[in-house]
Amino acid sequence: MWLQPMRFLPHTIVLLVLMWCLSSALFLLPDGSIATAFPSVWGDWSLHMAHAWWFAEQSPAAWLDPRILRFDESFSYPPLINFISGMLLRAGFGIQAAMLLPCVLFAGMLGYGLNMLYRHAGARPWIAGFLPLALLLAGGTRGIASLAAWGIGKSGIIGDPSAVTNLPRLFDELEQPINKGLLAQAWLNPLFTLIIPQRTFLAGMALGSVSLLILLKCDRRGPRVRPFFAMSCLAFLLPLLAMAHVHSWLAVVCVLAVMVIRDSWGSPSATLRIVRHWLRLTGPGLILSIAAISLTMPAISGKVSGFGWAPGWMMREANQSGIMFWLVNWNVLIPLVILAALFSSDFRRDPCFLAGAVIFTVMNLVKLQPWSWDNSKLLFWSMLLLSLPLVRFFSRLRWKAIGVAAVVVFCSDGMLSLGHRIFQPGNPFVIWTASDQAIAAWAREKLPLDSLILSPSPVEHRFWSFALTGRRNVQAYGGWMWTHGLPVQPLQSRIEIMLAKPGENLAAMKGLGITHVAVPENPGSLKIGFTELNQSFKLLISFDNQAVFAIP
């Protein structure tokens, strides 16, 4: 079952093609600029381009920089996918290839992992080939509701025949009720909200799905894999998973904890033997993964307010009633899970159901960050875990049409989004212009490695001095620090004052160790004291709306 390529190859090819087609909308290169069709990519992909030392296009050519094992900031994303991209950059690949090739790699692994999980759950091979796509395209009833709203708004029941025969126009019109806020939702389909913008989450889902597959095959009640092989695989995969995406690591560990508790609950006299069994299989991997987390995610200094008790926070954030919230955000999944749990004792004892229910409950009671993305990642894991025993439940029913109808409704929103992205890619959002990249190349060659740059990063976290040089900034991305509960407003105010009145704050800059000031010459709404900069500081370069000054 492990090496049956025709079982998962068709789906993997579809997933890879899908990822590659969407990547053409992610990185457009008009006139040398790096752009994206997804605004959310700004806050994630560009941050990955910048935050890790080894990923930025910096001067040192050493392949294993000693700084790879630490971060200078208080908190950081795990480094695995950044490290892969960094190695590709140093091997001579361009930014676009360095960003996309790891995504293609992990898309293939995700295709294998999800396909084999559904095969393990009892789905037939051809059905298992489509279920992962349905999971990635899953969303609420927004797709069906928008089709109904579009049809009602047109003359007659069918609507406008010319729009039906013109796919770009049809998808554009179907999006209108959504764009106007009629069917707004807080939790979007995973492919466009999580998988595509979040390279880290893609890597975590890929490694996590394979780790979960091995874990489920080690069930004491019917193991399907040799213990030494399972221990070796988990000792390799769990540390990588911890470095790729901690949320996914927590989800897999939650399944492990549920399996241990379930087995011990059912056989209290064999508890010690059960614990030994699982420790022998997962102990090395857990120890190595905890060590990896301690290296890559140091404790945050100061008080963190990103974890709060907020029951029903998703409903309040979406400004929806309970019924509308479930229809729009969770579709028919939860009612089907409740139905299966009521009628099947095997379903209630399934570790994936128990772990998925725990994660789902906790993530609807607490909020991990001031915004919802981290909760959404674990909620997607709960959806995956709950769908696995649901597949087994429906495979035993005579009326499988119920499951087919549920899948169609389940992925209607994702299909609508997919069609809209393919036929209506929209205007690109520029991340870095060709000028940004040119002056960043100058800075990498001319500025010392220990430079500390003062730039308007609180507003423009994509500013080239932060994102493309490998040099430090006084503050990286204020919004990212805010999402992790760090108090950044005092620092932002201080930066604004230093930029507005640089001459008066020269001593303060030197006290902080600032060596250079990098600002746009057409700052827009930013308050920058260009007169004082030109009078008191040395202008190193002025190039196409970019200026770099040295601290005297």
Instruction: List the beta bridge partners of residue 548.
Output: 518, 541
- The pLDDT value recorded for residue 450 is 80
Higher pLDDT, 204 or 312: 204
**How many degrees, rounded to 5, is the angle at CA 466 between CA 50 and CA 69?**
45
**Cα(46)–Cα(437) distance, rounded to whole angstroms?**
13
Higher pLDDT, 483 or 362: 362
Higher pLDDT, 193 or 247: 247
- The pLDDT value recorded for residue 453 is 85
Q: Which segment, 288-297, 336-345, 518-527, is predicted with the most confidence on average? A: 336-345
Of the candidates 113, 135, 79, 25, the residue with the CA atom closest to the CA atom of residue 410: 135
Helices (H), 57-160: 80-90, 95-120, 125-128, 131-136, 142-153
Higher pLDDT, 539 or 418: 539
Would you say 178 and 141 are in contact if contact means Cβ atoms under 8 Å apart? Answer: no
pLDDT(219) > 70: yes
**Quick count: other Cβ atoms within 10 Å of Cβ 268?**
8
Q: CA distances (Å), 469 to each of 76, 345, 390, in order? A: 18, 58, 49
Q: CA distances (Å), 156 to each of 145, 147, 150, 151, in order? A: 17, 14, 11, 8
Kindly state the percentage of the chain with pLDDT values over 90: 20
Instruction: Give the DSSP H/E element, type plus range, for residue 71.
Output: none
Tokens of 198: 């979040």
Mean pLDDT of 182-200: 70
Mean pLDDT of 198-221: 89
Of the candidates 388, 406, 471, 417, the residue with the CA atom closest to the CA atom of residue 197: 417
Q: Provide the mean pLDDT of the chain.
A: 76
The SS3 call for residue 84 is helix
pLDDT(43) > 90: no
- The pLDDT value recorded for residue 308 is 80
Q: Which residues contact 432 (CB under 8 A, 6 or more apart)?
A: 33, 34, 46, 440, 462, 464, 467, 468
- The pLDDT value recorded for residue 300 is 42
Residue the block writes with tokens 């028919």: 332
Per the document, the length of the chain is: 552
- The pLDDT value recorded for residue 260 is 93
At 414-471, the pLDDT tens digits run 888 777 777 766 667 777 788 888 888 888 889 887 888 888 754 455 677 766 776 7
- The pLDDT value recorded for residue 146 is 74
Would you say 34 and 129 are in contact if contact means Cβ atoms under 8 Å apart? Answer: no
Mean pLDDT of 315-343: 80
- The pLDDT value recorded for residue 407 is 83
Among the residue ranges 165-169, 231-235, 293-297, the one predicted with the least confidence is 165-169
pLDDT(479) > 60: no
Kindly state the percentage of the chain with pLDDT values over 70: 72
Give the domain ranges of the chain: 432-550
Mean pLDDT of 212-217: 94
pLDDT(355) > 90: yes
Q: What pTM was computed for the model?
A: 0.83
- The pLDDT value recorded for residue 76 is 42
**Cα(82)–Cα(53) distance, rounded to whole angstroms?**
9
- The pLDDT value recorded for residue 283 is 95
Would you say 21 and 425 are in contact if contact means Cβ atoms under 8 Å apart? Answer: no
Concatenated DSSP letters of 325-388? HIIIIITTHHHHHHHHHHH-HHHHH-HHHHHHHHHHHHHHHEESSSSSHHHHHHHHHHHHHHHH
Would you say 69 and 291 are in contact if contact means Cβ atoms under 8 Å apart? Answer: no
At 369-400, the pLDDT tens digits run 766 778 889 999 999 999 999 988 888 777 77
Q: Mutual orientation of helices 142-153 and 167-179 as an angle, nearest 10°?
A: 100
Instruction: Give the DSSP H/E element, type plus range, for residue 467.
Output: helix 464-467
User: In the structure, what pLDDT confidence band is assigned to residue 541 with cuts at 50, 70 and 90?
Assistant: very high
At 98-143, the pLDDT tens digits run 778 888 889 888 988 998 899 889 888 778 878 888 888 888 777 7
